[in-house]
Amino acid sequence: MTIRFDQRVAVVTGAGAGLGREHALGLAQRGARVVVNDFGGGVDGAGGSAGPATETVRLILEAGGEAFAHAADVTKPDQVQDMVTQTMKRWGRVDILVNNAGILRDRTFAKMTSEDFAAVVAVHLQGSANCSLAVWPHMKEANYGRIVMTSSSSGIYGNFGQANYGAAKMGVVGLMNVLHIEGAKNNIRVNTIAPGAATRMTQDLLPPGVIELMSPKTVTPGLLFLVSEDAPLRVILCATAGGFARTMIYETEGVWLGEEDCTPENVAALFPQISDPNGQHVYESGSPQVAKFVGKAAAGKGVKLG
């Protein structure tokens, strides 16, 4: 099976450099028409320039592809809407959205300001929501859409000095979960990539020798799969240095405690059983998870449901 994107239109945010540029180039190489979005600011979000996005477009055009640049700030809904409006006027459709734009303001939590926290969340999480909201009606009308969020091991597992970044990167997983449910009937598939790559955001954090191994090019194949015709559903795909793995959020079977036994002491005593991975389950939505314990409670109290 060859993955192609002929006649598809893709919007890639943060595509002026690093991962976003590789994603845009990869999509264009396989036939997609690409909207290259980049605000062109610094790693911390300051400033702004059309240069990075224009350079990515130049590379795509030189290779025979189709693309145009848009410098929308993803934290500004009106600018994002203008980008999507221009895309619809030019190509009449939006099939793919890659939410890749991001900034860093790393500090220990004790030294982090509320402004630093809000700024990072605004780009990564609110920016992903703004862009997804702008393309959503067009994807619903077309009964087709592929959206990818960009998470990180910092969000899934944590990383020192990145409370703002980690919170935002786990937040996009929650956004994916809900959009997956709401978009299913219109064939809108929503997934998440959790990349590890040497980019301008990470190069100062990586030791010598590792940078060469962690090329953004080693991540893009995973991204292209996630936005393909046969894309999976609600997947967190980790991609680093050519390695790919899937992160899944499991819940153990747990225990149920009756009213007389429902004490913190019993929770502590039964914690090994509560943590037992045997019978753990992946839930597709929140309702079955709640129903599990409601069912246990009903059975324990002799209540017949339904």
Quick check: 186 pLDDT over 80?
yes
pLDDT in tens, 202-232: 556 656 666 667 788 999 999 999 999 999 9
Name the band, by pLDDT with cuts 50, 70 and 90, for residue 93: very high
- Let me know whether 288 and 169 are in one domain: no
**Residue where a domain stops, chosen among 206, 225, 247:** 247
Q: pLDDT value at position 232?
A: 98
CATH code of the domain covering residue 47 = 3.40.50.720
Output the average pLDDT for the chain. 93
H helix intervals, 35-76? 51-62
- Let me know whether 289 and 232 are in one domain: no
Domain, as residue range, for 300: 250-306
Alpha carbon 148 to its chain centroid, in Å, reads 5
Half-sphere CA count of 68, side-chain side, radius 13 A: 11
**Per the residue annotation, which of 157, 165, 250, 283 is the catalytic one?**
165
Between 277 and 43, residue with greater pLDDT: 277
- Let me know whether 66 and 136 are in one domain: yes
Name the band, by pLDDT with cuts 50, 70 and 90, for residue 249: very high
* Residue 133 CB partners (closer than 8 Å, separation 6+): 77
φ, ψ dihedrals at 58, nearest 5°: -60, -45
- Let me know whether 169 and 207 are in one domain: yes
Q: pLDDT value at position 48?
A: 62
Secondary structure class of 98 (helix, strand, coil):
strand
- Let me know whether 178 and 66 are in one domain: yes
- Let me know whether 173 and 303 are in one domain: no
Asked whether residue 93 is domain-assigned, the answer is yes
Asked whether residue 4 is domain-assigned, the answer is no
Q: pLDDT value at position 127?
A: 98
Q: pLDDT value at position 204?
A: 61
Answer for the pair 41, 48: CB distance below 8 angstroms, yes or no.
yes
- Let me know whether 243 and 272 are in one domain: no
Domain count across the chain: 2
Quick check: 288 pLDDT over 70?
yes
- Let me know whether 67 and 177 are in one domain: yes
- Report in angstroms the alpha-carbon separations of 117 from 13, 105, 163, 165: 21, 8, 8, 8
Name the band, by pLDDT with cuts 50, 70 and 90, for residue 304: confident
- Let me know whether 295 and 233 are in one domain: no
- Let me know whether 33 and 128 are in one domain: yes
Name the band, by pLDDT with cuts 50, 70 and 90, for residue 285: confident
Name the band, by pLDDT with cuts 50, 70 and 90, for residue 298: confident
**Residue where a domain stops, chosen among 199, 225, 247:** 247
- Let me know whether 267 and 227 are in one domain: no
**Residue where a domain stops, chosen among 226, 247, 268:** 247
The predicted model scores a pTM of 0.92
Asked whether residue 1 is domain-assigned, the answer is no
Q: pLDDT value at position 203?
A: 57
**To the nearest whole percent, how much of the chain has pLDDT over 90?**
80
SS3 per-residue string spanning 16-68: CCHHHHHHHHHHHHCCCEEEEECCCCCCCCCCCCCHHHHHHHHHHHHCCCEEE
Active site residue 283: no
- Let me know whether 276 and 173 are in one domain: no
Quick check: 44 pLDDT over 70?
no
